[in-house]
Structure 1
Amino acid sequence: MPTETLSQKEIEDRLAELPGWSLDGDRITRTYRLGDHFAATALVVHIAQIQQELDHHSEVALGYNTVSLAVNTHEAGGAVTAKDFQLAERVEQLSESHAAV
């Protein structure tokens, strides 16, 4: 069963509920700042765990004290779907326990 893409309005409405997230082309994105490199690395490991649980993976970039995500759904031709927001919401909840801003 194919995953349905979200309309521009649906994307905008959902982004309004996720401060810090934005639409960049055909992906939703967010960069988190953390205290240091070890804290950023720990967040990446926990994001990977969530991605495995959801069977939905994003592009993750690790910097010295930053973690950036870019999320879209490959099986929907690279469009934004509800699966992307499910992942973003889980990461957003997780980021609080890592003191990520």
Structure 2
Amino acid sequence: MPIEPLTPKDVEERLRELPGWSLDDGSLTRSYRLGSHIAAAAFTLHIAQIQDDLDHHSDLTLGYDSVALSVRTHAADGAITDRDFALATRVEAIAPAHDVR
């Protein structure tokens, strides 16, 4: 069964529920600042575990004290789908435990 893309209106409405996330060049994106490089690396690892749990992987960039995500569903020709919002929501849920800024 194919994965259905969300409509632009659906994406806009759902983004309202995820402060800090935005639509950039066709992907859901978010950057986080953390207190140190080790904290950023730990957050990256936790995100990678969530991606494996969901079998949905984003572009994930580790900086010195930052982590950036860019999410879209390649199986839906790069469109935004429910899977992207599920990943973003899970990442938001763990962010406070990593003391993101």
Structure 1 stretches of 4+ with a deviation exceeding 3 A read none
- 1:88 — aligned with what? 88
TM-fit CA distance, 1:28: 0.3
Q: What are the equivalent positions in structure 2 for 1:39-78 lying under 5 Å apart?
A: 39-78=39-78
Residue aligned with 2:15, SS: helix
Distance 2:17 2:59 in 1: 21
TM-fit CA distance, 1:34: 0.2
Distance 1:99 1:93 in 2: 12
TM-fit CA distance, 1:21: 0.0
Q: Percent identity?
A: 56
Deviations 1:18-72 (A, max 9, x none): 0000000210000000001000000000000000000000000000000000000
Residue aligned with 1:67, SS: strand
- 1:35 — aligned with what? 35
Residue aligned with 1:45, SS: helix
Q: What are the equivalent positions in structure 2 for 1:4-15 lying under 5 Å apart?
A: 4-15=4-15
Deviations 1:54-93 (A, max 9, x none): 0000000000000000000000000100000000000000
TM normalised by structure 1 equals: 0.98
Distance 1:77 1:38 in 2: 35
**2:63 maps to amino acid:** G
TM-fit CA distance, 1:99: 0.8
Where structure 1 has 5 or more consecutive residues not aligned to the other structure, the ranges are: none
